[in-house]
Amino acid sequence: MIKRSYTIAGAIVPVAILCLIFITLLGSCVNPSDQPPVAKEGRLSLENWAFSDRDPVPLNGEWAFYPGAFIEPGVNAAPRNAIYAQLPESGLWHTVRIEGKPLSIYGYASYRLTLSLSGQESDLALRVPELFSASRIFLNGQQVFSAGTPGVEETRTEPRYRTGYVRINPVAGDNELVVHIANYRERRGGVNRSLYVGREGAVKNMYNKSLAMDLIVFGSLITIGIYHLCLFWLRKKDRSPLWFGIFCIIIALRSLIYGERFAFDLFPGVPWSVFNRIDHLTFYLGIPIFSAYLTLIFERNISKIAITVYQALGIVFSLFLFFPPSVYNVTVLYYEIITGVYALYILFIIAQALVRRYEGAMTTMIGIAIFLCFGINEILFNMGIIHTFNSLSVGLVLFLFTQSVLLAMRFSKAFDESEHLGRSLLNMNESLRRFIPQEFFQLLKRREVDEIRLGDQVEHSMSIMFSDIRRFTLLAEQMGAAKTFEFLNDYFGRIGEVIRRNGGFIDKYLGDGFIALFPSSPDSALRTAIGIQQVVNEFNGTRLSESMSSIEVGIGLNFGPLILGTVGEEHRMDTTVIADSVNLCSRLEGLCKMYGTGIIVPFEFLDLLEDATLYHWRYLGLIRVQGRKQPVETVHIYDGLPEKDFAMFEATKARFEEGLHHYRNGDYEQAMSMFRALASETPDDPAVFTFISQIHRLMTSGLIDDWDGIENAPAK
């Protein structure tokens, strides 16, 4: 048996619908004795109605209706050929049938109601809704309200929307209320909302609440729209906030044209036809723009062809707005039918997405359910079945709010993914910086790895260090592969801090050796080399305590111009340094095998130091290293070596350099005698034996006369 899992989110829709139905039913549960009376055959009696205790009374019921006539106001002066229209249900002309045919939406007509009052009310007011599309109202023969200029011909009619309230002064007994309405341009003729009468304060409060609701809706939607446009401005990759923001602004502007028609009072000089066309244009453009938003939300389900066709039709139908109202008032009906079919398609898509549990489907369905509930409430309220309030605009705001929540969820998810990717990228960059030093980025004037391109290069003058471990091959053979890796990581971990502390960075590891660069002064490179030798001494102490052999490290230093950059190919590249100074540094490090562990530098390197007298060194003479024609005057620095080795080199420095002097000046016998004496005294100094071998080779090979005083170093 398959078990279904239910989530809290899955229960939101039915719960929301049930709650709204319950609230709606509560609105309809009123005491019948509190129901206001309705008009019968053009007469409404409110003589026994206490206005002070109740809200304004809707003037609903049967009004005397005179199509095609403007009756003259006057008590008991109305013609007798009236028909009765139920307001507001049958207030629109096309809902009235005469001889089986509906009335035309164009023309003019009159409504008449005899209103009976007690005469004890002195501060009454009349609440006037929108009357399509030009009107005037008379009370007892006196005009109390007008909107535009109604006429018996189109040329004599000036349409205008206007709502509000007017103070009236009725008399005791019967009062005649006459309404003239003319329409030649609006696609509705007549009235579809109730007129109200009541205390002036209550009527005024009723109007103010309705106007406040319109302004709240406008402010809410314009804020939501601008907010989402700002979201799009900050993140242009996702266009859903763009379309949603534009749609909210369009609906916000439309809210000023509907309801209390605040835009008409705000811009009294703007012609009615402009507002009427804007009204239609918001419909032609608003729904297609919302479709663009839904396409991005449900792109896996929705047909882009269907959306594109609907949007194209919106543009086509909007072109009819260049024609007279009699044209575009007809064409809009066809677009409304198309929109109805399209809305059913969208509901199907959302339902399908909900079944498949796609992101955003649940939130959208909740919004639709809320909007439908408020829409049903609006219809029932206008029909007088329930007594709640006009709520469609509230439902629309709540629906758009749910879409704002949906976009916020999408942005939150995108932000979380961005944070996750950011953390991943940060961790990746941190990891890559272990392979590519941060200093390399800075020298190349790049901040992150993804900014580095093949062929990036920059020229600098800096100190270079080459270092490796003596006799490492034998050491690795004794330890094995696993132990060798463990040993190298331990060794590099110890010296890495010394390099960083002196402003340098390791450019590349070369097995048991490495290349380090020092953008700062040569002193920092030399201090690092000495520090490495001291670390090796401590490391050897640890190794000896664990019955392991000690190690020796050779270091070559040089200073000069070099080029840092990237080499390789598009799918595999590496950083490197290229220069003659780099090659020379590598050869100098190789001389440590022949001339003594420690540090070997060119003699000119000493001239670059702030104070060369702070260091201990001995002169090695001119040496021609492999790959260079010009010899290099070299120096052996023995600072940082074990005390025994340091003492040995320091004690024999003078005699060593004297023997070297004899050797370079051709006094081979004296040089051989001095180096042999040093060999018996310092058997651990490789430079002594190197020179003994060189002198012996020259003396036995017969090459003494051809020697130029320059040593030729063997290949590294």
Instruction: Please report, as a single letter, which amino acid is at residue 316.
Output: V
Rounded to whole angstroms, what are the CA distances from 690 to 30, 103, 591, 684, 696?
117, 124, 11, 12, 10
pLDDT reading at 336 higher than 90: no
pLDDT band at 378 (very low <50, low <70, confident <90, very high): low
With a CB cutoff of 8 Å and minimum separation 6, the contacts of 538 are: 494
Write down the pLDDT at residue 73: 87
Write down the pLDDT at residue 706: 62
Write down the pLDDT at residue 346: 80
pLDDT reading at 119 higher than 90: no
**258-293 tens-digit pLDDT:** 778 888 888 888 898 898 888 888 888 888 888 888
Question: Quick one: DSSP state of residue 556?
Answer: E
Write down the pLDDT at residue 9: 46
Write down the pLDDT at residue 290: 82
Q: Which range, of 17-21, 417-421, 478-482, 710-714, averages the lowest pLDDT?
A: 17-21
- Tokens 């028909």 sit at which residue? 83
Would the CA dihedral through 251, 254, 255, 258 be positive or negative?
A: negative
pLDDT reading at 371 higher than 80: no
Is 106:189 a contact under the CB 8 Å cutoff?
yes
Distance CA 558, CA 465 (A): 7
Rounded to whole angstroms, what are the CA distances from 655 to 108, 197, 649, 679, 689?
130, 126, 10, 12, 14
Report the pLDDT averaged over residues 136-143.
94
Distance CA 222, CA 316 (A): 27
CATH number of 438-641: 3.30.70.1230
pLDDT reading at 601 higher than 60: yes
Write down the pLDDT at residue 388: 56
pLDDT reading at 26 higher than 60: no
The token duo for 563 is 């080029």
Write down the pLDDT at residue 437: 67
Q: Which of 339, 351, 266, 275 is nearest to 307 (CA)?
A: 339
Q: Which helix (H) or strand (E) holds 501?
A: helix 481-501
Between 136 and 267, residue with greater pLDDT: 136
Distance CA 592, CA 553 (A): 9
**499-520 tens-digit pLDDT:** 989 988 888 888 888 999 998 8
**665-684 tens-digit pLDDT:** 888 889 899 999 999 998 88
Between 445 and 612, residue with greater pLDDT: 612
Between 438 and 580, residue with greater pLDDT: 580
**27-79 tens-digit pLDDT:** 444 444 567 899 999 999 998 888 876 789 999 999 999 999 999 887 555 56
With a CB cutoff of 8 Å and minimum separation 6, the contacts of 662 are: 668, 670, 671, 674
Write down the pLDDT at residue 4: 39
Secondary structure (H, E, C), 175-235: EEEEEEEEECCCCCCECCCCCEEEEHHHHHHHHHHHHHHHHHHHHHHHHHHHHHHHHHHHC
Q: How far apart are the first and last CA of the chain?
A: 77
**446-492 tens-digit pLDDT:** 666 666 667 667 788 889 999 998 888 888 888 888 888 888 888 88
pLDDT reading at 188 higher than 60: yes
CATH topology of domain 9-20+208-414: Rhopdopsin 7-helix transmembrane proteins (1.20.1070)
pLDDT band at 19 (very low <50, low <70, confident <90, very high): low
pLDDT reading at 541 higher than 50: yes
Between 697 and 178, residue with greater pLDDT: 178
Write down the pLDDT at residue 455: 61
Distance CA 576, CA 388 (A): 79
Report the pLDDT averaged over residues 196-225.
89
Write down the pLDDT at residue 519: 87
Taking the domains of the chain in order of start, what are their residue ranges?
Answer: 9-20+208-414, 36-207, 438-641, 644-716
Report the pLDDT averaged over residues 597-607.
91
Superfamily designation of domain 36-207: Galactose-binding domain-like (2.60.120.260)
Q: Work out the percent of the chain whose per-residue pLDDT is above 70.
A: 84
**Average model confidence (pLDDT) for the chain?**
82
pLDDT reading at 615 higher than 60: yes
pLDDT reading at 85 higher than 80: yes
Between 408 and 386, residue with greater pLDDT: 408
**633-650 tens-digit pLDDT:** 999 999 999 999 999 999
What's the predicted TM-score (pTM) here? Answer: 0.60
pLDDT reading at 257 higher than 70: yes
pLDDT band at 599 (very low <50, low <70, confident <90, very high): very high
With a CB cutoff of 8 Å and minimum separation 6, the contacts of 284 are: 314, 315, 317, 318, 321, 335
